[in-house]
Amino acid sequence: MIDEESTKRTGTPITWLSYNVWQFGPVAEDVYHSKWKGLNKFSEFVCFDEVAEGNFLVKPVVEFDDSEFSELDLQIINDVIEQYGHLTANQLVNIVHSENSLWKKTKQRANIHFSEQNKTSTVSINFAELIKDDSFKKTIYYCTLENLEFQSTLRT
């Protein structure tokens, strides 16, 4: 929800994580799989303790450093936490499944059908759809994306 809200306000998500359409909502697979031993791509920041079978508690490894975020980023994060932080998982799923949500539109467009055996998909959510009618924000989005992709090639 933070990345959606940031894209609506600024033209770019905060994390630039890739989210796929899964049964209960958008899922960043890198985050989801991090709870399994040896797969934590964020181990320098958080660890995952299994408190019950299949239920994990996310714990910080280091103190939060807000220097990676702008004041606007922090405001968006706080606004989203204030608006949604008190809701249950089921309430959040209902919001994500609402008729005009980006998740629902992507699911319908890709003709995804979930079942007991099929709870995931490889279909990505495109945050640029949130700003499709705002040419200025779209330009910001695609220029930033291009820059991030270019920087990624320099690291490999």
DSSP 4-41: HHHHHHHSS-SS---EEEETTEEEEHHHHHTTSTT--T
Helix, strand, coil in percent for the chain, rounding step 5: 45, 15, 40
List residues bridging with 22 in a β-sheet. Answer: 25
Nearest residue to 111 (alpha-carbon basis) of 119, 123, 94: 123
For 154, what's the count of Cα atoms within 13 Å in the CB-facing half-sphere?
6
In whole angstroms, what is the distance from residue 20 CA to residue 65 CA?
Answer: 28
In whole angstroms, what is the distance from residue 11 CA to residue 120 CA?
Answer: 27
Q: Using alpha carbons only, what angle is made at residue 57 by residues 119 and 75, rounded to the nearest 5 degrees?
A: 90
Of the pLDDT bands very low, low, confident and very high (cuts 50, 70, 90), residue 156 is: low
Determine the average pLDDT of the residues in 14-36: 94
In whole angstroms, what is the distance from residue 32 CA to residue 22 CA?
Answer: 11
The answer to whether 134 and 10 are in contact (CB under 8 A) is no
Of the pLDDT bands very low, low, confident and very high (cuts 50, 70, 90), residue 134 is: very high
pLDDT tens for each residue of 27-76: 999 999 999 888 999 999 999 998 888 888 999 999 999 999 999 999 99
pLDDT tens for each residue of 68-112: 999 999 999 999 999 999 999 899 999 999 999 999 999 999 999
Tell me the chain's radius of gyration from C-alpha atoms: 17
Which residue type sits at 6?
S
The answer to whether 97 and 117 are in contact (CB under 8 A) is no
